Chain A
Amino acid sequence: MKKFQLGEFEEIVLLTVGVLYNEAYGVAIKEEIQTRLKRKVSVGALQSALRRMEKKGYLESRTGPADKKRGGKPKRFFTITAYGKEALQHSRDVRVDLWNSIPKVALDLKIV
């Protein structure tokens, strides 16, 4: 079960990188998460999650051209690797599996 380790925040970041496809760099990811999830994200938390997942092999990155707006610093674009996709898939499968295993009654009762 330890095969794919994906924290909740990591999963969100990974998904967002997928959403942004070719345009996924720090600020864009941050803003995307903030607008979609209405949740504050610090640069530190985001960056450390990105680097961690890059090290694990879920993400890969390339450096863009230097940008004047960014004080002459380049952007780093992230893309999901195949392995990353597998991890996402796995995490999703687990959830779906869990959802399906909940007896109908339990959920119904909750609604009532």
Chain B
Amino acid sequence: MAKQLFNQPSPLETRVVSKNFAIEGSETLDVYLKNDGYKAFLKAKEMTPEAIVEEVKTSSLRGRGGAGFPTGLKWSFVPRTSPKPRVIVINADESEPGTCKDRLLMEYDPHQLIEGILIAGLAVDAHKGYLYIRGEYRYLIEKMDRAIDEAYAKGYLGKNVAGTGFEFDLCTHSGAGAYECGEETALLDSLEGKRGVPRMKPPFPAVAGAWALPTLLNNVETFSAVPAIIRDGGAAFAALGTPKNGGTRLVCISGHVNKPGVYELPLGFPMMKAINEVAGGIPGGKKLKAVVPGGSSCPILKADECDIPMDYDTLAKVGSMLGSGGMVVLDETTDMVRFALRIMKFYAHESCGWCIPCREGTTWLKKILQRFYEGQGRREDISLLGELSKNMLGRTFCALGDAAALPTISIVEKFTEDFEMYLARQEVMV
């Protein structure tokens, strides 16, 4: 019997980070070693740290956690010769609504992630890594613990990694339920045993991160892409995508589609093709209304804006983001007031309360949307939602304020008719 996967693969995928997912026993070191495992690490061991960073730059890999920052550039910021020891922190606090990909990378290919972390260790001369996994993913903490134990037992972690004399220690660290801890500096505070509130930047984590040590912090998928980049070359990875948008990424398709799932697609893959062919189209022959392209923080796109290639630059051009790869598809029956309310309930719940524009703004927006949804909306609320959101933009410590404001602004502006419909219904009731 074939391995039972979360969803059936699509023939339209380009499998790089997910290439081992369907292999029986892919979570074990033996199977990993049989499938190119540790070729990249051994190759990297023969390279200079500068050459490793250069290779990652060539790949044009960009952070897969949400911000899309060029990975090689981030690595180059870590002061390799600092007298302080460097540490690596892996962000597995996957919590952006619409996003469920890091789960699969840890579940099906934990050793690929470990190898990616080890290569980063070579690049920045770090010897210690902390894998911060959200508390809800307890079964994955256990899976990663088992993979780490196996790697230690077989000499792929510890004092003499793969017989090369390189030393590296890795452990998991459990979160306990907080979206905000996906923000890198809040994650660091949480890792230090505090409330997960964001830090003032600068200093950036590369200079003073966990325990004030120079810290390299990337998302699970970002690290997982590194072995392929080193093994096959940065140029080969880059060539899979479009210029400046290298490689492939895991796209989590959810919402109103026939075949929701996580699919690995090259950067620049057409969005409509992803919806209609990869994910099997919209059920019941209904029409597309909107798409959240990369997790709930991203401005929403109307159906007529979705005929675009999915890459960072094109998404930026249409005023949105690729974010964390969480693509949520909405059909024509979707009530945008209800949808906007659910988004805002989330941000109001998850705002850490550290800074006022976010703490108060999200709660006010939630209250306004709530009364609208309950049939108590006022005409001026429509513009109030937009103005209030715009006043939050850029005025908060971290990106959570923007993450709440941006989708709201886009929904109110692009789907004003949904709000108008609520007002019209109220008038009829009176």
The finding on whether chains A and B are genuine partners in a shared complex, rather than unrelated, reads no
